[in-house]
Amino acid sequence: MAPIDYVRWFGELRSEDVALVGGKNSSLGELYSALSSEGVKVPNGFALTATAYRDALDAAGTWDRLGPLLKDIGKDDIGRLAGNAAAARALVYAATGTGTLRAEIAKAYERLEEQYGAGVAVAVRSSATAEDLPTASFAGQHESFLNVRGADDLFEACRRCFASVFTDRAIVYRNDNGFDHLKIALSVGVMKMVRSDLSASGVAFTLDTETGFRDVIFVTGAYGLGENVVQGRVDPDEFYVHTPTFRNGHRSVLRHSLGRKQQRLIYAAGSGDRSTTNIDTSVSERARYCIDDDDVLKLAGYAIRIEDHYSLRAGHPVPMDIEWAKDGIDGEIYIVQARPETVASRKPTGEFYTYALKGSAKTLITGRAIGEKIASGPVRIVSSARDLASFQAGDVLVADTTSPDWEPVMKGAAGIVTNRGGRTCHAAIVARELGVPAIVGAEGATGALLQGQMITISCAEGEIGRVYQGQVPFEASIVDVGSLARPRMPIMVNLGNPDLAFRTAMRPNDGVGLARMEFIISEHIGIHPMALVQPEKVTSAADRDIISARVARYSSPSDFFIETLAEGVGMIAAGFYPKPVIVRLSDFKTNEYARLIGGANFEPKEENPMIGFRGASRYAHPAYAPAFALECAALRQVRETMGLKNVRIMVPFCRRIDEARRVIAAMAENGLRRGEDGLEIYVMCEIPNNVIQIDAFAEVFDGFSIGSNDLTQLTLGVDRDSEIVAFDFDERDPGMLEMLRMAVAGAKRNHRHIGICGEAPADYPEIARFLTQIGIDSISVNPGSVLRTLEVVSEAERTCAATVAPPLPKV
């Protein structure tokens, strides 16, 4: 009779059983034992213990033969590595083919059949005894086998899984991380397969994998079995859920990103590694999300419960990496693996690197940015493992996808570019762990880039990674947060790009003083809002076709605008929550609106758009009021549905008091009532009349933000864009300083918040000193100017005797 430790059921295992069944199986046991009763669905299964592995090798006398095979194998000795690894696997495979193991596996499988039915399909996965420790992730190092049916095939798959402890990549990984090969044992997990071949599967993280931002659940998914997502064979759908507002009871997906989902991995005839096959997805499948919002929110709830459970046991926060699968038969979502996340969560919080391009070049291709770095190097296109021999350290690896077998050479890559894959694929995971910049899902990269061509890959410009032609100069610097000066005055940021929200929020700041709606409209929507309200008035057939294609997934063209704008604003608000985020309503000029798709049919031609039909004058005007209603609907969705009540709204270019009252009334008609549910409405102080009549404006609005560019332009009568007279544009002019003084004094007199959202305080230390002296409430600058502004204002506070106003009140 075999020792009882040869087989352990999930219900008998807990997380402390790592030494017996490895990290993966002990985690599955923890999930099944502790969280199934709380509604987290986990398929049942069992583990073959590390004892079974060791006893088999002991009985066969295998250890003495393994030692010489594994000694001093370097990753560069590819020929010897491959031969010795194959020999080691053959020894383990032979040693584990015992009658005792066969009988124990057959008995356990029979019990699983009693629960799930005869011939139940199972997944067979490895679980190393040092796997998933906080300092090591063996993910992808060993083999897995899917859709295994019957006791005989299961026995064969388990033997092959045991033998995979000595794959080439696992040997290199252990060498690089200082693990003793002969002290690592393998446990094999056997779990009932979830029929995600008929539905979808993917990975969820309880943080943002690129920045380490902790307040979101990040979900990726694609059709079919999960290996396609993990191995990067497809570009998955991506979703974000904001954790703090979810905990507060708000059930909303913060952001959706549609992936191409090129293939679906399904069951095939046979067993072992021939048990699955990929088929191409249809056009209609690619055009819709693989799961709906209810599924995403259910996964978010699971993820939060799992992290809470592991964090409670550890006594500190434990971000989690979670694999999920949706069963196409019963429609339920199951958790099939959970482990502590070991890369993004371990980034040092006391310092950060900043990368910035110092030149420009032609963009050759784009994709999903992994990391925040920039690197240059020659292109090395790798089509198969045979091409790896010619790879040189410092090359940029360019491939369709990457494989775990390639990891020895990936360590020397300057960067990685793949045609396919999402942010949780193999290439992305390895790139993060190695600290190598990567661009995944760059469709057509292997065709667009040439062997040996010098390129620069940039992951420092937000979610979109760009491959530039040639060697573009860039600058890298490290910032010690502890050494930064932190003034008493709040230093906020100006931001328009939602893709930079999480990254920027993790740097020193006191919130967002200016969130520009125009960037989201121009870059993420691209269509004139009136063309979505009245598409029948668009005369260009080409524009109509573009509009039809972009709105195809939505209930109506208006819904496309509302949801896209809400998600963009929501990402910024979530990134800085609960700090204040002041969102400026659209402030395009007519010539800028006209450049949007369909815009030419709705915009007048003006000789001077800078002082024409812009800002507040549009919102209640019949020519734009229906589009303004869409802006309001999006902001309502952010505050009410998403629960991001840290959003304050700001009205730009408001000329007169009557106009201000009309805008406030229009907002109220569209469900945004000042004072209701804590809503504050500010106004840009950028027209001399805003300063002259500041007492009257203070009766209509809750606060002011000085727009120094327009205020300087209109005070001095200088067109800042004119090459002839732009030299006269100077915020330091005595008349401008008096305007600033009057604005701050008037706001203080009326007990209204007043800040400034321009670069003048960062560019001119004397402006920062002046604003500090007159007691402005906050300064907001572009993210690249925050560090300089912190220093300038700290110095100004040291030299000014004036008392600085308290920070913005907490939401």
Closest CA to 501 of 680, 706, 708, 255: 255
Are 204 and 299 in contact by the 8 Å Cβ rule? The answer is: yes
Burial of 65 by CB count in 10 Å (0-12 exposed, 13-18 middle, 19+ buried)?
middle
CA–CA separation, 500 vs 208, rounded Å?
12
Are 457 and 440 in contact by the 8 Å Cβ rule? The answer is: no
Are 775 and 748 in contact by the 8 Å Cβ rule? The answer is: yes
**Sheet of strand 320-326: strand arrangement:** 255-257, 237-242, 216-223, 200-205, 320-326, 333-340
CA–CA separation, 417 vs 37, rounded Å?
43
Q: Mind giving me the DSSP string for 564-612?
A: HHHHHHHHHHHHHTTS-EEEEPP---HHHHHTSBTGGGT----S-GGGS
Pairing mode of beta strands 351-357, 474-480: antiparallel
CA distances from 43 to 122, 144, 192, 329 (A): 10, 17, 6, 14
- One-letter amino acid at 184 equals I
Alpha helices in 732-785 (DSSP H): 734-749, 760-763, 765-774
Task: Give the long-range contacts of residues 379-384, CB within 8 A, separation 24 or more.
Answer: 379/449, 379/450, 379/451, 379/452, 379/453, 379/454, 379/455, 380/451, 380/452, 381/446, 381/449, 381/451, 382/406, 383/446
Catalytic residue ranges: 426, 757
Burial of 578 by CB count in 10 Å (0-12 exposed, 13-18 middle, 19+ buried)?
middle
Secondary element (H or E) of residue 188: strand 186-192
Residue 416: partners with Cβ closer than 8 Å, 6 or more residues away: 370, 396, 397, 398, 399, 402, 410, 427, 430, 431, 436, 437, 438, 439, 440
- How large is the C-alpha radius of gyration of the chain? 30
Secondary element (H or E) of residue 698: helix 694-700
CA–CA separation, 188 vs 158, rounded Å?
7
3 state SS of 744: helix
CA–CA separation, 579 vs 576, rounded Å?
5
Other Cβ atoms closer than 10 A to 67: 12
CA–CA separation, 260 vs 234, rounded Å?
7
3 state SS of 645: coil
Other Cβ atoms closer than 10 A to 355: 18
CA–CA separation, 659 vs 653, rounded Å?
10
- The tokens of 175 are what? 């060498």
CA distances from 546 to 288, 524, 534, 538 (A): 18, 14, 15, 11
Other Cβ atoms closer than 10 A to 107: 12
Are 317 and 214 in contact by the 8 Å Cβ rule? The answer is: yes
Q: Mind giving me the DSSP string for 65-113?
A: HHHHHHTT--TT-HHHHHHHHHHHHHHHHHHT--HHHHHHHHHHHHHHH
Q: What single DSSP character describes residue 461?
A: S
Secondary element (H or E) of residue 301: helix 293-314
Are 190 and 173 in contact by the 8 Å Cβ rule? The answer is: no
3 state SS of 531: helix
